[in-house]
């Protein structure tokens, strides 16, 4: 064998081994255009999706790590696990002591927080931009080697049980919210509360927590989104240094497909002596957020429920004065969307009148075309809220991470706002008739 | 086959080398993971320029801050008169007037105004303070013209219709009644009532009974006296062309007529020189809510920066002494913080905490010990440096939104803070040291505060006997007499 062929063979094996260890899964940075702000996307060899958005207007940087896991990934009897783990992520990891994460962010004048929902868990911090490497060090350490032991799991469980008690004591309608979710969502996975049930929380073991962490808290199940005053090249180097050697995860359990109920109205009454006044939750099953029907549905949400001049606020609070509280919005859990309205009234007569008024306003929107002026008003209110999703560097990093997790790309962002603003009066009437049907109603009366 | 095996054998060391290089985690973690990296050099915040213009015909001042990254505009209109300028016999008239500004102008009812605000993607709200009244308006940038047109009509052509006045009075009364179940509101209001007892600022601590005496005639009279361009400031933040915006503001507000003002500078209230303990009975309250504080310096004095640092070390955040002691170490409190409330003629230094009722006395004792510690001993260098690091780093976060930036600019004008103080924030914080903090703390009566406790008296009284003398108040803030408690004796 001559030297050339030996070298050739070694190169062959080298390339083979590099391939095996993922070198070629390195993907080139890609700049997305036509967005209201610049972004760059790339993926690390372990599958971690990275989003960078440069903005030098203030010397700040926000780092968001969003994991594709939430309460809907919990098994029956283990509710509250996702939220428990969110809290545990601040209790230390192999190289970060218990209060160190908080101390580092705080001492720099920064802010941090986290949130768990049905389908995602998000960690975010905003710091002066010279602290970027430190935040990456912190986030990578807890992604790689979270400290999970009897003591810290018990401490977090105690805090969460106290939180459950506090929430129940301060919100007499809380149980009715949970009950309504059981009716409006198809099954346990979609409907149980993020904070969990107290009895489940008590029974969760350290092994359960370790298993949940080692299954879901993996780079290829996460998005790292950074917005603010960064040097893209340098930031990329630091990101690769801290995250690229974190082992990827395998065999993520798929989300259980929802068991969709047959299309018929669900009407329940729930007697609760602890509520100060009667009320009701009213909901409709909406189109999936990934469909084109969702654009008019979102605008309809604004026509009905947002602002003091929205149709339901004007009718129930200002004109008829049958309700003392009205709130509502479209809620998304993975691929399911629900319009949820909550009303509190002085007495049961007022409650009946409020229910009838809502149905009458919905019928009005189904029967007659909305004026161009009113539609434009609702679109403008929506536009303001849409823009405010990226008003600060922290908002922007979170907006990008959540958008990516929900659609697995950011391609849709270039035209998303335009599509909402292109909704016509005809779309509104058509979509109202399609989704606001009697069969789609879920009603839970509390008295 | 043999050949392939031989090739693989030759390549094995290389293969292992690559394997080890790319998988160090199999054996030990990378060295850089063991400790946090050093931060890069700090990038100092360049504070945005505030472009001022005062219109010569009527004295209206406009401040424009250019920010390009969002297609929205934040507007704040300030009237430099607040509740302290209400006539002595009409507390509440400043609040009523401000709340009426968006409730009807000529040819536009209050409902039509709401429609117009929301049609431009807008939100409008009002807040009234002892020294000033603020009107906050945020809207989509393409509607600047419509927003200014609407705002000018609110200030130049309000209708102040009787039925709208009655509606607003009802909602003010309802708001105060609702707040009477909120221990934070009751405690803070009572603290400020006592600290401002003989001062015009007292009028800002309204109770619901006074509102019924307010009428249209008095409202119009107040409006005519104080809602004048030479008593006003408009702050705009957004992607704005300065010249075009100035022209637009001039067009809409040109006919607003100036008038000689009745505002005169107020002297600072006298601080308490002896500790006083008060209890508001809130039957059924599960916790004890504590507010304690005293009158301190005028905000424009040179002491402002050492006191900001002192506040940071004592109770600015959950890493500060009060929180770490009362919650983390003793487990008495849900939270414990200190604050500096700034007014034109003085500031109020106060501590607020929510604690378990059984340890009310011990908690107050710990708070006073912490205050004593910080006023009598030098803060260790690492602690003061940490506080400075927080204050410098946090400034950028405080002005991230357009609205916060507008608020900051408004605050400087309201409190007469010189531009220079704002420009040199970084240097001023860097100059603070433990000696200056100690020297400044010694000047003020922080150890003789008014102490207000809100909670269920049937639980709390037994736990505050050590104070000896406590004044009892009802939820309206009316004194129910002084209780002489026997120290060390329980029911």
> Alpha-carbon dihedral of residues A102, A107, A110, A114, nearest 10 degrees?
0
| Chain A contact for B68 (CB, 8 A cutoff) | yes
Q: Is A58 close to B400, i.e. CB distance below 8 A?
A: yes
Answer yes or no: is pLDDT of A201 > 60: yes
Per CB-CB distance under 8 Å, the chain B contacts of A103 are 319
Per CB-CB distance under 8 Å, the chain A contacts of B37 are 133-134, 137
Domains and CATH numbers, chain A: 27-243 (3.30.830.10), 266-446 (3.30.830.10)
**A51 in Cβ contact with A401 (< 8 Å):** yes
Give CA–CA dist A447/A50, Å, rounded.
49
What is residue B30's predicted lDDT score, i.e. its pLDDT? 87
- The residue that leads in pLDDT, A11 or B239, is B239
Confidence of residue B299 (pLDDT cuts 50, 70, 90): low
Between strands B232-238 and B61-66, the pairing is parallel
> Which residue among B37, B43, B71 places its CB closest to the CB of A137?
B37
Across chain A, what does the average pLDDT equal? 90
Q: Is B118 close to A381, i.e. CB distance below 8 A?
A: yes
**Inter-chain contacts counted by CB atoms under 8 A, chains A and B:** 164
| Chain B contact for A134 (CB, 8 A cutoff) | yes
> Which residue among A134, A247, A377 places its CB closest to the CB of B37?
A134
Give kind and range of the element (H or E) at residue A140. helix A132-144
What is residue B408's predicted lDDT score, i.e. its pLDDT? 87
Residues listed for chain B:
491
Domains and CATH numbers, chain B: 51-253 (3.30.830.10), 276-484 (3.30.830.10)
What is residue A12's predicted lDDT score, i.e. its pLDDT? 38
Task: Please write the tens of the pLDDT for every residue from B270-289.
Answer: 999 999 999 999 998 889 99
What is residue B298's predicted lDDT score, i.e. its pLDDT? 67
Answer yes or no: is pLDDT of A13 > 90: no
Give CA–CA dist A255/A216, Å, rounded.
12
Answer yes or no: is pLDDT of A1 > 50: no
C-alpha distance from B43 to closest chain A C-alpha (Å): 6
- Contacts (Cβ under 8 Å, ≥6 apart) of B5: none
A110-121 burial: b if 16+ Cβ within 10 Å, else e: bbbebbbbbbbb
Q: Which of residues 86-125 of B touch A (CB under 8 A)?
A: 111, 114-115, 118-123
What is residue A101's predicted lDDT score, i.e. its pLDDT? 95
- The residue that leads in pLDDT, A9 or A421, is A421
| Chain B contact for A165 (CB, 8 A cutoff) | no
**B256 in Cβ contact with B152 (< 8 Å):** yes
Sheet-wide strand order for B450-455? B333-342, B347-355, B288-295, B450-455, B276-281, B469-473, B479-484
Q: Is B393 close to A308, i.e. CB distance below 8 A?
A: no
What is residue A25's predicted lDDT score, i.e. its pLDDT? 36
**A108 in Cβ contact with B14 (< 8 Å):** no
**B202 in Cβ contact with B233 (< 8 Å):** no
CB atoms within 10 A of CB A16: 12
Per CB-CB distance under 8 Å, the chain A contacts of B29 are 94-95, 145
Best B5, B19, B22 member to test A by mutation, with max A CBs in 10 Å, is B22
Confidence of residue A16 (pLDDT cuts 50, 70, 90): very low
* Residue in chain A lying closest to B66 (CA): A57
Give CA–CA dist B200/A72, Å, rounded.
57
Can you give the pTM of this predicted structure? Answer: 0.89
Confidence of residue A2 (pLDDT cuts 50, 70, 90): very low
Q: Is B18 close to A18, i.e. CB distance below 8 A?
A: yes
Per CB-CB distance under 8 Å, the chain B contacts of A387 are 70-72, 140
A189-217 burial: b if 16+ Cβ within 10 Å, else e: bbbbbbbbbbebbeebeeebbeebbebbb
**B200 in Cβ contact with B266 (< 8 Å):** yes
What is the mean predicted confidence (pLDDT) over A214-237? 97
Per CB-CB distance under 8 Å, the chain A contacts of B113 are none
**B130 in Cβ contact with B200 (< 8 Å):** yes
Per CB-CB distance under 8 Å, the chain B contacts of A373 are 119
Task: Please write the tens of the pLDDT for every residue from A364-395.
Answer: 999 999 999 999 999 999 999 999 999 999 99
**B393 in Cβ contact with A110 (< 8 Å):** yes
C-alpha distance from B10 to closest chain A C-alpha (Å): 8
Confidence of residue B257 (pLDDT cuts 50, 70, 90): very high
Give CA–CA dist A447/A210, Å, rounded.
42
- Of A4-8, B135-139, B328-332, where does mean pLDDT reach its minimum? A4-8
Per CB-CB distance under 8 Å, the chain A contacts of B115 are 309, 377
**B153 in Cβ contact with B77 (< 8 Å):** no
| Chain A contact for B390 (CB, 8 A cutoff) | yes
Per CB-CB distance under 8 Å, the chain B contacts of A21 are 18-19, 22-23
Task: Please write the tens of the pLDDT for every residue from B453-464.
Answer: 999 999 999 999
Q: Is B11 close to A13, i.e. CB distance below 8 A?
A: yes
What is residue B28's predicted lDDT score, i.e. its pLDDT? 66
- As a three-state string, the secondary structure of chain B is CHHHHHHHHHHHHHHHHHHHHHCHHHCCCCHHHCCCCCCCCCCCCCCCCCEEEECCCCCCEEEEEECCCCCEEEEEEEECCCHHHCCCCCCCHHHHHHHHCCCCECCECHHHHHHHHHHCCCEEEEEECCCCEEEEEEEEHHHHHHHHHHHHHHHHCECCCHHHHHHHHHHHHHHHHHHCCCHHHHHHHHHHHHHCCCCHHHHHCCCHHHHHHCCHHHHHHHHHHHCCHHHEEEEEEECCCHHHHHHHHHHHHCCCCCCCCCCCCCCCCCCCCCCEEEEEECCCCCCEEEEEEEECCCCCCCCHHHHHHHHHHHHHCCCCHHHHHHHHHCCCEEEEEEEEEECCCCEEEEEEEEECHHHHHHHHHHHHHHHHHHHHCCCCHHHHHHHHHHHHHHHHHHCCCHHHHHHHHHHHHHCCCCHHHHHCHHHHHHCCCHHHHHHHHCCCCCCCCEEEEEECHHHHHHHCHHHCEEEEECCCCCEEEEEECCCCCCC
What is residue B416's predicted lDDT score, i.e. its pLDDT? 80
**A330 in Cβ contact with A301 (< 8 Å):** yes
Q: Is B397 close to A111, i.e. CB distance below 8 A?
A: yes
Q: Is A21 close to B37, i.e. CB distance below 8 A?
A: no
| Chain B contact for A179 (CB, 8 A cutoff) | no
What is the mean predicted confidence (pLDDT) over B283-296? 93
- Of A129-138, A314-323, B63-72, B480-489, where does mean pLDDT reach its minimum? B480-489
| Chain A contact for B9 (CB, 8 A cutoff) | no
What is residue A20's predicted lDDT score, i.e. its pLDDT? 35
C-alpha distance from B274 to closest chain A C-alpha (Å): 36
ipTM above 0.85, yes or no: yes
Per CB-CB distance under 8 Å, the chain A contacts of B69 are 37, 55, 57
Per CB-CB distance under 8 Å, the chain B contacts of A111 are 397
What is the mean predicted confidence (pLDDT) over B160-167? 95
């Amino acid at each position: 064998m001559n030297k050339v062929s030996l070298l050739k063979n070694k190169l062959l094996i080298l390339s083979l081994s590099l391939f095996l260890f993922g070198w070629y899964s390195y993907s080139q940075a890609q700049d997305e255009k036509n967005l209201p702000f610049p972004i760059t996307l790339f993926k690390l060899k372990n599958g971690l999706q990275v989003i960078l958005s440069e903005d030098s207007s203030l010397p700040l940087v926000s780092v968001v790590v969003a994991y594709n896991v939430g309460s809907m990934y919990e098994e029956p009897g283990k509710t509250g696990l996702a939220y428990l783990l969110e809290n545990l992520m601040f209790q230390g990891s192999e190289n970060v002591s218990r209060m160190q994460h908080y101390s580092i962010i705080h001492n720099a004048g920064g802010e941090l927080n986290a949130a768990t929902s049905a389908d995602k868990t998000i960690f975010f911090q905003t710091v002066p931009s010279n602290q970027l490497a430190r935040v990456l060090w912190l986030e990578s350490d807890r992604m790689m080697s979270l400290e999970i032991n009897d003591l810290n799991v018990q401490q977090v469980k105690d805090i969460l049980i106290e939180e459950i008690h506090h929430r129940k004591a301060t919100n007499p309608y809380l149980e009715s919210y949970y009950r309504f979710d059981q009716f409006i969502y198809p099954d346990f996975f979609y409907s149980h509360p993020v904070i969990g049930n107290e009895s489940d929380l008590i029974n969760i073991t350290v092994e359960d927590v370790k298993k949940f962490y080692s299954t879901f808290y993996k780079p290829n199940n996460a998005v790292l989104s950074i917005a603010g005053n960064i040097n893209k090249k340098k930031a990329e180097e630091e990101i690769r240094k801290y995250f690229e050697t974190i082992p990827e995860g395998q065999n993520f359990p798929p989300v259980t497909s929802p068991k969709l109920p047959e299309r018929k109205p669900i009407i329940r009454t729930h007697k609760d002596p602890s509520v100060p006044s009667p009320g009701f939750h009213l909901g409709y099953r909406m189109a999936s957020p990934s469909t084109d029907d969702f654009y008019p549905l979102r605008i309809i949400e604004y026509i009905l429920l947002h602002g003091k001049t929205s149709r339901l606020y004007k009718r129930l609070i200002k004109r008829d004065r049958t309700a003392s509280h009205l709130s509502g919005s479209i809620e998304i859990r993975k691929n399911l969307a629900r319009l949820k309205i909550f009303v509190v009234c002085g007495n049961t007569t007022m409650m009946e009148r409020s229910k009838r008024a809502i149905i009458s306003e919905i019928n009005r929107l189904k029967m007659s075309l909305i004026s161009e002026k009113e539609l434009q008003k609702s679109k403008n209110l929506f536009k303001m809220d849409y823009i405010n999703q990226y008003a600060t560097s922290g908002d922007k990093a979170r907006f990008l991470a959540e958008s990516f997790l929900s659609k697995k790309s950011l391609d849709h962002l270039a035209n998303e706002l335009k599509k909402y603003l292109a909704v016509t009066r005809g779309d509104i009437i058509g979509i109202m008739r399609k989704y606001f049907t009697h069969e789609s109603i879920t009603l839970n009366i509390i008295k | 086959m043999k050949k392939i095996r031989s090739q693989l054998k030759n390549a094995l060391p290389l293969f292992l080398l690559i394997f080890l290089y790319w998988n160090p985690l199999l054996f030990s973690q990378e060295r850089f993971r063991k400790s946090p990296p050093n931060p890069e050099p700090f990038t100092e915040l360049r504070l945005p320029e505030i472009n001022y213009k005062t219109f010569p015909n009527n004295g209206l001042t406009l401040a424009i801050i250019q920010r390009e990254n969002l297609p929205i505009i934040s507007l704040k209109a300030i009237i430099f008169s607040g509740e302290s300028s209400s006539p002595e016999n009409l507390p509440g008239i400043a609040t009523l007037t401000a709340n009426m500004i968006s409730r009807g102008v000529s040819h536009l009812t209050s409902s039509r105004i709401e429609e117009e605000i929301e049609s431009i993607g807008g939100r409008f709200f009002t807040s009234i303070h002892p020294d000033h009244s603020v009107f906050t308006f945020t809207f989509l940038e393409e509607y600047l013209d419509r927003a200014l047109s609407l705002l000018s009509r609110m200030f130049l052509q309000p209708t102040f219709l009787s039925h709208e006045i009655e509606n607003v009075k009802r909602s003010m009364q309802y708001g105060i009644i609702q707040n009477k179940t909120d221990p934070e509101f009751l405690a803070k209001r009572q603290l400020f009532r006592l600290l401002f007892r003989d001062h015009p600022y007292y009028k800002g601590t309204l109770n619901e009974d006074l509102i019924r005496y307010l009428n249209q005639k008095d409202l119009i009279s107040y409006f005519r006296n104080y809602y004048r361009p030479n008593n006003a400031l408009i702050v705009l933040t957004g992607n704005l062309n300065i010249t075009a915006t100035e022209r637009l503001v001039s067009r809409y507000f040109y006919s607003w007529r100036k008038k000689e003002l009745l505002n005169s500078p107020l002297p600072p209230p006298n601080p308490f020189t002896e500790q006083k303990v008060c209890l508001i009975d809130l039957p059924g309250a599960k916790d004890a809510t504590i507010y304690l504080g005293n009158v301190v310096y005028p905000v424009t004095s040179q002491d402002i920066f050492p006191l900001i640092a002192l506040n940071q070390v004592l109770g600015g955040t959950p890493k500060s002494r009060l929180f770490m002691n009362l919650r983390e170490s003793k487990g008495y409190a849900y939270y414990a913080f200190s604050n500096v409330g700034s007014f034109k003629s003085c500031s109020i230094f106060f501590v607020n905490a929510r604690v378990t009722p059984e340890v009310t006395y011990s908690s107050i004792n710990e708070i006073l010990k912490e205050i004593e510690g910080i006023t009598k001993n030098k803060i260790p260098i690492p602690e003061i440096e940490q506080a400075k690091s927080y204050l410098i780093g946090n400034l950028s976060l405080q002005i991230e939104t357009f609205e916060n930036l507008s608020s900051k600019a408004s605050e400087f004008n309201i409190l007469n803070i010189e531009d220079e103080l704002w420009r040199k924030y970084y240097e001023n914080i860097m100059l603070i040291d433990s000696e200056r903090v100690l020297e400044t703390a010694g000047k003020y009566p922080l150890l003789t505060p008014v102490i207000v406790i809100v909670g269920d008296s049937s639980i709390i009284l037994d736990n505050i006997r050590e104070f000896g003398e406590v004044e009892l108040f009802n939820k309206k803030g009316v004194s129910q007499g002084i209780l002489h408690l026997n120290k060390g004796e329980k029911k």
